[in-house]
Amino acid sequence: MRKTLLFALTACLLTACYYRTDTPRGSWAKGCDLSWLSEMEHDSVFAYDCMAALHERGMNAVRLRVWVNHATGWSNKDDMVALAKRAAQQGLRVMVDIHYSDFFADPSHQAIPAAWKDYDYPTMLEAVRQHTLDVLYALKEAGVKPEWVQIGNETPNGMLWPMGRVDKEAGHWTEYAGFTAMGYQAAKEAFPDIVVIVHVDNAYEQRDWFWQSMAAHGGKWDMIGLSHYPMMSAWNGGKSWQEMNTLAEANIRQLIRQWHCPVMIAEVGTFANDTLSAVVMADFVERITSIDSCAGIFYWEPQVFGGWRPAEYILLGWGSYDMGAFTPDGQPSQVMDILLNSQKK
C-alpha cells in the first residue's frame, strides 16, 4: 500500500489537471449511486451508455462505493476508480463512499476486512488512514477530484466491529470517533477542500445522542449524510410514506439548526410501483428542495431492472434489488425524471 501511495503522490506532483464538472461545487446535487454499473455492463444488461443517458436527463453527480477487498472484485478500488473516471470525463461530480469493509457496511453489518482482523486499535487507525489515502490518491492519479467522501456507510452503530461498535447507551465511542477523525484527516490530506460526510440511515429518526457522542469524543465531519427509504414500512415501524417524508423533513431541518452543517440525502429508494413511487418521490423532493442547507439527493442503484442480480447475490441466494427506478424495458422511469428535474427553491 505504501508503494501505491508513493507512486500516486509522485504522479500527482507531475500533473495538477482534473476533469471539469458541468455544475459548480456546492450546487444542488441530483445524483445516482451507480456502483453496480460496471458489473451490469459486464453482464450485457445495457445496449447504451447508462451513465451518459442519466447525465443527459439531468444527473449531475455520481456516488460510488469502495470495498477493501471483495472476492468478486466489483466495487473494489480499481472498479470504483474506473467508474469515477468515466463520470468525471462526462462532467459529473463524484462522491466516494468508503465502507472500510470487504462487503456491504450498514447498521447491521460493519465487518472488519479480513486483512485487518488481527489489528489492535493503533494499527486499525493506521489502516483507516492508509486505505483512505490509497483510495483518494488513486482518484487523484486518474485525474478525478471528488467533491465528497463518506467515512463509513450507514454508521449509527459505529464501524469496524467489534472494535468500533457503539449504541445509544454505551459502546466504543473513543474508537469509533477516532476512526472518523482519522478518515477525515486523511481525506483532507489528499484533497484539502473535499467535503467529508458521516452517514447514517433512517432520515426520519432523530438521533441527537449519536451526534452529541460523536462530537464529545472528537469525531469530525463537514456534512451529514442520510438514507431515506419511505416505502419500507416493515422496516420503519409501520409508518406510512407520508409520515416518513414528514418526519425526514423535520429531522433534516433540526440537524441543520443544531449542527450548523449541510445535510445530503446520500441514499433514497422507492419500490418499483411507478405510479405510487412517483407520488412519493415528488412529495419528498418538494419538501427537501425548500430547505436551504439540504445539499442534494442520490438515488441508490436506480439502474437495476428486470430481475438482474450481482454475482454475490447469486452466491448468497439473495433476490434481486426491487427499488430500481428504471422501466421494464431498461429506461429511466418517471421517478428518475422527478429527481433529475428537481431544482433548489
Residue 4 lies in a domain: no
Q: Is 18 within a domain?
A: no
Instruction: Determine the structural domain holding residue 256 and report its residue range.
Output: 30-340
Q: What is the amino acid identity at position 181?
A: A
Is 13 domain-assigned?
A: no
Flag whether 19 is in a domain. Answer: no
Q: CB-based burial of residue 185 (10 Å sphere; 0-12 exposed, 13-18 middle, 19+ buried)?
A: middle
Q: Has residue 262 been placed in a domain?
A: yes
Work out the angle at residue 268's Cα, subtended by the Cα atoms of residues 263 and 270, and round it to the nearest 5 degrees. Answer: 150
pLDDT for the residue numbered 175: 98
- Supply angle C-alpha 56, 31, 204, rounded to 5: 145
Any domain includes 23 = no
Output the pTM of the full model: 0.94
Domain-embedded: residue 320: yes
pLDDT for position 234 = 67
**Tens-digit pLDDT profile for the chain (345 aa)?**
444 444 444 444 444 589 999 999 999 999 999 999 999 999 999 999 999 999 999 999 999 999 999 999 999 999 999 999 999 999 999 999 999 999 999 999 999 999 999 999 999 999 999 999 999 999 999 999 999 999 999 999 999 999 999 999 889 999 999 999 999 999 999 999 999 999 999 999 999 999 999 999 999 999 999 999 998 776 777 889 999 999 999 999 999 999 999 999 999 999 877 789 999 999 999 999 999 999 999 999 999 999 999 999 998 999 999 999 999 999 999 999 999 999 998
CATH of the domain at 90: 3.20.20.80
Q: Please report whether residue 209 resides in a domain.
A: yes
Domains in the chain, number: 1
